[in-house]
Amino acid sequence: MDDLLRDFLTESSENLARLDNDLIALERQPGDATPLNSVFRTIHTIKGTCGFLGLTRLETLAHSAENLLDALRSGKLSVSDALINDVLAAVDQIKNILEALESTEAEPDGDDLRLIAQLDAWMSHDPTHAATTEPEDMPEPRLPNAPAQDTDELFPTPSSGGATMFAPDVAATGEPTATRAESDAPVVENRAPLADSTLRVSVGLLDELMNLVGELALSRNQLAQLAAGDEQSVFTHPVQHLNRVTTDLLDAVLRTRMQPIGNAWTKLPRLVRDLSSAAGKQIELVMEGADTELDRQILQAIQDPLTHMVRNSADHGIEDAPARRAAGKPEQGTVRLAARHEGGHVIIEIADDGRGIDVSRVRRKAIERGLVRADLAETLSDTQVLRFIFEPGFSTAEQITNVSGRGVGMDVVRSNIEAIGGSVELQSEFGRGATVRIRIPLTLAIISALIVESAGESFAVPQIGIVELVRVTEEKRQLVERVNGARFYRLRDVLLPLVDLHGLLELEPRADVETQSIVVCQVGHQRFGLMVDEVFDTAEIVVKPVGRLVKHLSAYAGCTITGDGRVIMILDPSGVASMAAINERSSRDESALAAAKTSLGASEEATESILLFDAGFPAMQAVPLSLVARLEEFAPSVFEEADGQFLVQYRGALIPVIPANPSIDIRALDPRPVIMFNDGERTMGVAVNAIRDIVEEKLSIERSATRAGVLGVCVINGKATEVIDTDYFLRLAYADWHRSLGHSGTDSAAPHVLLIDDSRFFLGLLAPALRAAGFHITTASGAESALARLDAGETFDLVISDIEMDGMDGFALAEAIRRKPLGKELMLVALTSRDGSDDYARGIAAGFDAYLPKYDRETVVSTVRRLTTRELAAA
């Protein structure tokens, strides 16, 4: 292709990309001369060059457009939507012709008479039209040497540094590409020619430069360490100087790869405008932080996801004007695109004030699609539910896109963003709008990392995934808790799952480590603590890929070479999290909770009334209101102390009152609020500092127990809240009472039920319910311990067992019990959150007398009553 033609094509498409935005700016602010002049200049330039290159068709069209713009400029015509539409149509047609020109090197056949007539019609409305038409040159033969001043005008240098990045691709491929050029900066105001101060450089060369500088930085690090030991060395000063220069060089090279994010936004104003006029909506696209810079590699990777999400917001998010009016919103919808730097990351937000997303619909859809179990889905927070939109199975759901907005391709959006180490999340308030928040690293080649050591080996942890560091000193060691074999650290109010790095990597732990450290990592929404022996410095490291023999190891993101020349592995926090099955751990807690929670409620949909109170712990305390008998207040004088316990006379009986927090001085508050519990026969009170609230919430435990007396931690009103274990307090209050009853034998008439579940929470909730119904309850936390009780000769009238348990499951337990001589007659009831006739048949085959859904407490109680009555009658 002719060099001149190629340059013309490149420059024209760059200019045209800017044109779209200028025209839209013009439409918005008809009085503003800047965009108008810019549009006029661009069209004029194209027209002039066309004549020069002998492209008559293009020239004729550009000429008509130019006339129209000139009339606008001189105030002979005024800006209107229809007029701008026509100019945009002309711009589109110019683009089409340029594209054809690019592929065939000749103007396509045909003409644009209709379009030209349409453009000219505007002029004929105007009596002064003739005066605005300037005499036009005839197409001139192409000259081999363009005069210098022409070149300046033809190729106005783009103002942004980013624009210079596109040309290298052109140079590299030898072909100009119109689409690439469209990602020019949207900034138009300060387009002062800067021809002498910028240069087009091949991206390949920049990448090579980047690699070399990376290597140089490594050598610098090695040299610096060699010189570090010896202050007197003649090398000290030169090395220091080298150090400074290398750092600056690294920085400068990194900057050559930086482009303003606006480069990825240029197409968007036009996109939104077209979408809104096609759908008859009014949408304003607000762009903030377009000059936020990030690595071009990343910029390219996010361009498509961004376009997709903005289109979603405009197309599905924003309602049409009548709907907005009806919803009491301004007729004009807003899509806000914002970018900013935030600690080594770029945050991009796409927010709209449209109809938002119906979370309950997403939840239903997720259940239908089999992405989540129905009972589990109820316990998920809205943010967790909205995350399903990014699931592959979800995107194909056709209904959801019409009703609630997003859907198509969101899984692709997520995988594109995650591929560059970013994360994406969606928030929405139904009826109010939705916000997508993307978090991406600034650059991929060099990262900041924390160097840690475990079992004598060093590792780098990308700083990006690190939230904080905790040093586990002797006194803090008690904050490390063990729950079901998994370790947790009590970090403020949150239980942080711990991963021992040496255990995970199968390294021999060192015996001489005194204090370990916890590197708190965040992967998506999951936090976990990485236990390491030692934490060293942070360092800028060059990420190097690992060889193919170890590529399959998900624990690593790559490797790097340290200042002293050693190779160390870079840990990949998300790989570590999945290896340690952090997610499964918490979801197991959630599923137990889901089952437990629904066992209390009448239906699956129901939320729970939860009583919130303050007991002097850092976290708010909670208890399901269904377990509370009454709320009372007592004057300090009514508390009597006996046998190390506080007692109050209450409704004709002396009942024990236990402080919710051992540090509470019961008499210190007047009146002292007390929560009364009753399990059927016994009443007791728990003294608290203040009753705070009663809320309707889904009880969804995020973490298992933090300390005795607590079943788990859940989030209520956005705060970590501890759910107390009422059974624990009952046992505290009636420790002696239990024993005395055992002796007197009054209890022996009550059917004795063994309740087995590996979820302490579930036991804590169902046991009081059964006790309240008059049963004598013994609990076991697993099939194995239940069998041990039976083997030890304990007798029961009935056994209730969970089906899904760690270790031996309910089916195996039933079979084992039935094999025992005394087990043949024992009544066995299965509780499950699974439903399905196969399971039912399997349960009956295994020897269960009844197979009940876990969430239906009333059925459980009535079935147990029916079976035990029959049992007793038969006996």
Partner 1 sequence: MTTTLRSRRTAAQSAIHEYVTFALGEQWIGIPVGSVQEVLVAQHIARVPLAPSAVAGFLNLRGQIVTSIDLRTTLGLKPREADATFMNVVVRQEGELFAFMVDDVGDVLAFDDEVIEDTPATLDARWRSACHGIVRREHDLLLILDVQAFLRLDQPTS
Is the CB of 44 or the CB of 544 nearer to partner 1? 544
Beta-strand pair 526-532/494-500: parallel
Q: How far apart are CA 478 and CA 767, in angstroms?
A: 30
Choose the binding region for partner 1 from 185-193, 481-489, 492-500, 554-562 (rule: CB under 8 A).
554-562
Answer for which of 116, 154, 372, 569 binds partner 1 (CB under 8 A) is 569
Say which residue the tokens 């480069």 belong to: 263
In this structure, what token pair is assigned to residue 31? 């009085």
CB atoms near residue 370 (< 10 Å):
8
With contacts defined by CB under 8 A, name the span among 90-98, 142-150, 259-267, 504-512 that binds partner 1: 504-512
The one-letter code for the residue type at 784 is E
From residue 176 to residue 215, what is the string marking binding to partner 1 with x (rule CB under 8 A)? ---------------------------------------x
The values of phi and psi at residue 138, to 5°, are: -80, 150
Pick the binder of partner 1 from 25, 72, 185, 218 (CB under 8 A). 218
Contacting range for partner 1; rule: CB under 8 A; set: 102-110, 420-428, 500-508, 533-541: 500-508
Which one, 544 or 789, has the nearer CB to partner 1? 544
Judged by CB under 8 A, how many residues of this single chain contact partner 1? 25
Site for partner 1 in 804-833 (CB under 8 A): none
Question: Using DSSP, how many helices (H) and how many strands (E) does the chain show?
Answer: 30, 35
For residues 562-599, one letter each, b for 16 or more C-beta atoms within 10 angstroms of the residue's C-beta and e for the rest, the string is: bbeeeebbbbbbbebbbebebbebbbbbbbbbbbbbbb
**Judged by CB under 8 A, which stretch of 317-325, 543-551, 641-649, 866-874 contacts partner 1?**
543-551
Interface residue with partner 1 among 129, 544, 789, 834 (CB under 8 A) is 544
Decide: 764 and 711 in contact? Cβ < 8 Å.
yes
Helical ranges in 203-267 per DSSP H = 203-228, 236-256
Q: Which stretch binds partner 1 (CB under 8 A): 567-575, 582-590, 617-625, 781-789?
A: 567-575
Give the SS3 label for residue 423.
strand
99 vs 108: CA distance, rounded Å: 9
In the complex, least distance from residue 776 CB atom to partner 1, rounded to whole angstroms: 51
Q: How far is the CB of 219 from partner 1 (least distance, A)?
A: 8
- 555, 600, 657, 766: which one binds partner 1 (CB under 8 A): 555
Compute the least distance from the CB of residue 550 to partner 1, in Å.
5
Helix-strand-coil percent breakdown of the chain, rounded to 5? 45, 25, 30
Name which position in 550, 602, 635, 788 contacts partner 1 (CB under 8 A).
550
Q: Does 114 bind partner 1 (CB under 8 A)?
A: no
Q: Which of 568, 658, 755, 773 binds partner 1 (CB under 8 A)?
A: 568
Name the segment binding partner 1 (CB under 8 A); options: 100-108, 379-387, 503-511, 722-730. 503-511
- Paired residues of 435 in beta bridges: 351, 427
50 or 568: CB nearest partner 1:
568
Q: Strand 333-342 vs strand 283-288: parallel, antiparallel, or unpaired?
A: parallel
Burial class of residue 485, CB neighbours in 10 A (0-12, 13-18, 19+): exposed
d(CA 344, CA 520): 17
Residue 228's contacts (CB-CB under 8 Å, 6 or more residues apart) are: none
Residue with tokens 């010189």: 227
> Based on CB atoms, which residue is closest to partner 1, 184 or 572?
572
Measured from the CB atom, is 217 or 664 closer to partner 1?
A: 217
Interface with partner 1 (CB under 8 A), residue from 50, 123, 505, 714: 505
Q: What is the SS3 assignment for 758-808?
A: CCHHHHHHHHHHHHHCCCEEEEECCHHHHHHHHHCCCCCCEEEEECCCCCC
**What is the smallest separation between the CB atom of 217 and partner 1, expressed in angstroms?**
10
C-alpha distances out from residue 262 to 195, 290, 337, Å: 21, 4, 10
Q: Does 219 bind partner 1 (CB under 8 A)?
A: yes
**Assigned token pair, 198:** 């910028």
Q: Considering beta carbons, is residue 412 or 579 the nearer one to partner 1?
A: 579
DSSP state of 640: E
Place of tokens 């008439």: 749
Out of 283, 287, 561, 688, point to the residue binding partner 1 (CB under 8 A): 561
Q: Near partner 1 by CB under 8 A, which window of 33-41, 130-138, 501-509, 668-676?
A: 501-509
By CB under 8 A, residue 692 contacts partner 1: no
Q: For residues 712 and 304, what is the distance between their CA atoms, to the nearest angstrom?
A: 43
Stretch that binds partner 1, among 436-444, 539-547, 590-598, 853-861 (CB under 8 A): 539-547
Show the tokens assigned to 803: 């089906």
Among 287, 350, 486, 559, binds partner 1 (CB under 8 A): 559
Residue 545 as a binder of partner 1 (CB under 8 A): the answer is: yes
Which of 180-188, 560-568, 688-696, 830-838 is the region at the interface with partner 1 (rule: CB under 8 A)?
560-568
Task: Report the distance separating Cα 65 and Cα 734, nearest Å.
Answer: 92
> Does 701 contact partner 1 by CB under 8 A?
no
Candidates 482, 548, 651, 743; binder of partner 1 (CB under 8 A) is 548
Stretch touching partner 1 by CB under 8 A, among 271-279, 566-574, 700-708, 791-799: 566-574
The CB-of-607 to partner 1 minimum distance in angstroms stands at 45
Cite the beta strand spans of 572-671 per DSSP E.
608-614, 620-624, 628-634, 640-642, 645-650, 653-659
Write the interaction track for partner 1 spanning residues 413-452; mark x where CB under 8 A is met and - where it is not. ----------------------------------------
| Sheet of 672-678, strands arranged across | 628-634, 672-678, 683-687, 653-659, 645-650, 640-642
Nearer to partner 1, 327 or 553 (CB): 553
Residue 518: CB minimum distance to partner 1, A: 19
State in angstroms the smallest separation of the CB of 236 from partner 1. Answer: 24
**Are 711 and 760 in contact, with CB atoms under 8 Å apart?**
yes
Determine, following the binding rule CB under 8 A, whether residue 174 of this chain makes contact with partner 1: no
Q: Distance (Å, rounded) from C-alpha 539 to C-alpha 344?
A: 14
What residues contact 604, with CB distance under 8 A and at least 6 apart? 374, 375, 378, 598, 855
Q: State how far the Cα of 556 lies from the Cα of 575, in Å rounded to an integer.
A: 7
CB 453 to partner 1: min, Å: 13
Q: Rule CB under 8 A: say whether 686 interacts with partner 1.
A: no
Residue ranges that bind partner 1, judged by CB under 8 A: 215, 218-219, 457, 505-507, 544-550, 552-553, 555-556, 559, 561, 565-569
